[in-house]
């Protein structure tokens, strides 16, 4: 990556940090939200072996339209059509009910571009890790298991985009399911 690419990547990180500055993750530790898009970009680069600048920028920005006041035109102005298009491709339609949004992700995943599929897998890998390490308040074992099943259905439509990410997802999913079994066994053995 040349120095201009480094600057463009840092510009995206700075933009995302400003947009997410007052947000926290849903986990009990309420970590700064920006940790999530940074982790997704890092997963794409390290695990997925992706050095495609627009994909890495989109990873940093992937929740800005969905979870902040960022608009499509703002992304186009700052990062161009290509990055904005990738972000929009993985953005949930918040006008839909939660169940419909979740089902839309499953149904739509096979039709994403390969770059968006890779981004979607990296996002799910990191969400699984976060849910198992620091689950959202009130998420019991069953709710976590349901998330894992749903994430697996979404990723099943994305697997062809990047073998490294597909394998990492499978590993994260297997570890999370093992942890859920352990948690179930522990809670069932308590008096």
In CATH, what number is assigned to the domain containing residue 52? Answer: 1.10.3210.10
53 within 8 A of 8, measured Cβ to Cβ: yes
Q: Which residues contact 36 (CB under 8 A, 6 or more apart)?
A: 25, 63, 126, 130
Sequence-separated contacts (24+) of 136-139 with Cβ below 8 Å: 136/26, 136/27, 136/28, 137/26, 137/27, 137/28
- pLDDT of 119 > 70? The answer is yes
The domain of 20 spans 3-189
- pLDDT of 81 > 70? The answer is yes
- pLDDT of 50 > 70? The answer is yes
pLDDT tens, residue by residue, 10-40: 999 999 999 998 877 777 677 788 999 999 9
Q: Which residues are catalytic?
A: 66-67
Residue 27 backbone phi and psi in degrees, to 5: -60, 160
**Residue 183 banded pLDDT, cuts 50, 70, 90:** low
Q: pLDDT at position 38, please?
A: 97
Number of domains in the chain: 1
Nearest CA to 64 out of 44, 43, 84 is that of: 84
């Amino acid at each position: 990556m040349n120095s201009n690419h480094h600057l463009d990547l840092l510009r995206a990180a700075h933009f995302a940090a400003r947009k997410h500055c007052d947000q926290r993750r849903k986990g009990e530790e309420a970590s700064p939200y920006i940790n999530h898009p940074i982790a997704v970009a890092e997963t794409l680069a390290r695990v997925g072996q992706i050095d495609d600048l627009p994909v890495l920028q989109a990873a940093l920005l992937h929740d800005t339209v969905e979870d902040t006041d960022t608009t499509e035109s703002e992304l186009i102005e700052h990062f161009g059509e290509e990055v904005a298009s990738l972000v929009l491709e993985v953005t949930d339609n918040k006008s839909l009910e939660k169940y419909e949004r979740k089902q839309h992700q499953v149904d739509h995943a096979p039709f994403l571009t390969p770059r968006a599929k890779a981004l979607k897998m990296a996002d799910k890998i990191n969400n699984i890790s976060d849910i198992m390490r620091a689950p959202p308040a009130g998420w019991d074992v069953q709710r976590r298991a349901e998330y894992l099943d749903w994430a697996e259905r979404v990723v099943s439509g994305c697997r062809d985009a990047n073998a490294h990410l597909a394998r990492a997802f499978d590993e994260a999913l297997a570890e999370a399911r093992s942890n859920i079994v352990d948690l179930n066994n522990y809670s069932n053995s308590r008096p």
